[in-house]
């Protein structure tokens, strides 16, 4: 089944009950949380409906059919040879990350490297694992690249793990093969465990090469696991199912110690939805075409209506990192845009200190929503600029 258009905004407000549509009043345009405005692919809906019709609503104890389905997808997409025995279930990506860290870290006081700006729940996950975050910011001047020298310095000072985001959220950057190989060599040399969140990987844009970390880690002799799901690429977050995949033998042995209850807490409906989604590539490809078009539309609209706002063009996904530092909206432009512009973006402050003056925008929507979001952003920026210049004009008079 090919990809279809988004529902009208009025219908989304009327029919959906998720955070995106209930957190703010109806006059606020929601372009924040990572949820799509599109309908779920029909084949996925059919698989979930069939599971319900069969009253197949019990507990899970393994990845079952999802292990070979993910292995096929990983091989066909990226040439990654996945051992199906190394594929484990988790309720979602965040739970998978926390449980993997708990296995790899000391009981208390473990140290985990983060590379901000980065997905805000990463900070919470490290706290949940009773660990301490060590931040090594991305290099903005090098296109939001990993700071390998900074990472090595952190490793040398003593850390237990690194939490990698690839493709990176919020910048949409797919880390290069060279950078990942260098990171793997460092992880092997300092025996640092790497947990790689690759949930946005199926949405690498055409012309972009996404490199999974696991085979790179294995080649370098580094310990690593990958946590991922069909949740972002096929809009299935609420169905609660992810996989945790070992990169090599030592990490496979570690994951064998995951709590048995972890699989039981994963949704059987989510498992079947993931299995179906991973074969719905025509739908995914249609989505990617729209996302790329929306990125270009956003850039064009900003250039005309809000040229002081800079969009960081993503390599993957439907989230765009916007630089508001030249607009006069302050350290937290998202707050101003909600209060004055009635448009909701994610606050850059939540992504760590490098997010000051930034905000994240969701482009998994109809093109008309992109245009309206820019209209509200531009009106807010213009109004702030007018207020800032008013006293100067008054004195001149």
What CATH number did the domain enclosing 324 receive?
3.90.1150.10
Quick one: 151 and 226 in the same domain?
A: yes
| Domain membership flag for residue 390 | no
| Domain membership flag for residue 370 | yes
pLDDT in tens, the chain (397 residues): 568 888 899 999 999 999 999 999 999 999 999 999 999 999 999 999 999 999 999 999 999 999 999 999 999 999 999 999 999 999 999 999 999 999 999 988 899 999 999 999 999 999 999 999 999 999 999 999 999 999 999 999 999 999 999 999 999 999 999 999 999 999 999 999 999 999 999 999 999 999 999 999 999 999 999 999 999 999 999 999 999 999 999 999 999 999 999 999 999 999 999 999 999 999 999 999 999 999 999 999 999 999 999 999 999 999 999 999 999 999 999 999 999 999 999 999 999 999 999 999 999 999 999 999 999 999 999 999 999 887 654 444 4
| Domain membership flag for residue 112 | yes
Q: Structure tokens of 273?
A: 């939805």
Domain containing 296 equals 9-40+281-385
Quick one: 28 and 129 in the same domain?
A: no
Neighbour order of strands in the sheet with 319-323? 310-312, 319-323, 358-362, 346-347
Number of structural domains in the chain:
2
Residue 170 burial (CB < 10 Å; 0-12/13-18/19+)? buried
Quick one: 92 and 237 in the same domain?
A: yes
Between helix 148-158 and helix 177-190 the angle, nearest 10°, is: 10
Quick one: 257 and 332 in the same domain?
A: no
3-state DSSP helix/strand/coil percent for the chain, to nearest 5? 50, 15, 35
Quick one: 80 and 228 in the same domain?
A: yes
Query: Which residues does residue 258 pair with via DSSP β-bridges, in sequence order?
Result: none
Quick one: 168 and 224 in the same domain?
A: yes
Quick one: 113 and 226 in the same domain?
A: yes
Q: Which residue, of 216, 245, 278, is where some domain finishes?
A: 278
Question: Which residues, in sequence order, are CB contacts of 163 under 8 Å at separation 6+?
Answer: 97, 101, 112, 113, 114, 118, 122, 125, 126, 194, 195, 197
pTM, two decimal places: 0.96
DSSP collapsed to 3 states, 165-218: ECCCCCCCCCCCHHHHHHHHHHHHHHCCEEEEECCCHHHECCCCCCCCHHHHHH
Quick one: 271 and 307 in the same domain?
A: no
Quick one: 257 and 372 in the same domain?
A: no
How many Å apart are CA 37 and CA 68, to the nearest integer?
30
| Domain membership flag for residue 326 | yes
Quick one: 160 and 198 in the same domain?
A: yes
Quick one: 304 and 250 in the same domain?
A: no
Instruction: Please report, for the domain that includes residue 89, its CATH number.
Output: 3.40.640.10
Quick one: 323 and 244 in the same domain?
A: no
- CA 64 to chain centroid: 25
């Amino acid at each position: 089944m090919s990809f279809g258009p988004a529902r009208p905004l009025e219908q989304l407000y009327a029919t959906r009950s998720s955070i995106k549509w209930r957190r703010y009043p109806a006059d606020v345009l929601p372009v924040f949380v990572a949820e799509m405005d599109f309908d779920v692919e029909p084949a996925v809906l059919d698989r979930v409906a069939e599971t319900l019709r069969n009253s197949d609503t019990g507990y899970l104890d393994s990845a079952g059919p999802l292990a070979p389905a993910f292995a096929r997808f990983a091989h066909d997409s990226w040439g990654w040879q996945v051992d199906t025995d190394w594929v484990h279930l988790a309720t979602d990506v965040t739970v998978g990350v926390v449980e993997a860290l708990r296995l790899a870290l000391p009981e208390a006081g473990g140290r985990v490297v983060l590379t901000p700006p980065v997905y805000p729940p990463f900070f919470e996950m490290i706290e949940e694992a009773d660990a301490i975050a060590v931040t090594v910011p991305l290099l903005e001047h090098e296109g939001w690249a990993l700071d390998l020298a900074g990472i090595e310095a952190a490793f040398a000072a003593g850390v237990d793990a690194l939490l990698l985001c690839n493709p990176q959220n919020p910048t949409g950057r797919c880390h290069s093969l060279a950078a990942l190989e260098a990171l793997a060599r460092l992880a092997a040399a300092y025996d640092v465990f790497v947990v790689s969140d690759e949930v946005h990987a199926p949405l690498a844009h055409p012309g972009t090469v996404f490199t999974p970390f696991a085979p790179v880690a294995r080649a370098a002799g580094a310990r690593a696991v990958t946590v991922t799901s069909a949740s972002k690429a096929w809009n299935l977050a609420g169905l609660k199912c992810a996989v945790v995949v070992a990169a090599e033998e030592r990490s496979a042995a570690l994951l064998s110690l995951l709590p048995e209850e972890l699989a039981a807490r994963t949704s059987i409906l989510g498992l079947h939805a993931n299995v179906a989604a991973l074969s719905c590539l025509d739908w995914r490809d249609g989505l990617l075409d729209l996302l790329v078009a929306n990125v270009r539309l956003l850039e064009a609209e900003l250039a005309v209506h809000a040229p002081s706002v800079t969009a960081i063009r993503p390599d993957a996904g439907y989230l765009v990192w916007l630089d508001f530092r030249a607009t006069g909206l302050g350290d937290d432009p998202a707050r101003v845009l909600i209060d004055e512009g009635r448009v909701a973006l994610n606050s850059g402050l939540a992504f760590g200190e490098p997010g000051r003056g930034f905000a994240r925008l969701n482009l998994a929507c109809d093109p008309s929503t992109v245009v309206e979001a820019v209209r509200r952003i531009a009106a807010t920026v213009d109004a702030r600029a007018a207020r800032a210049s008013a006293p100067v004009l008054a004195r001149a008079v």
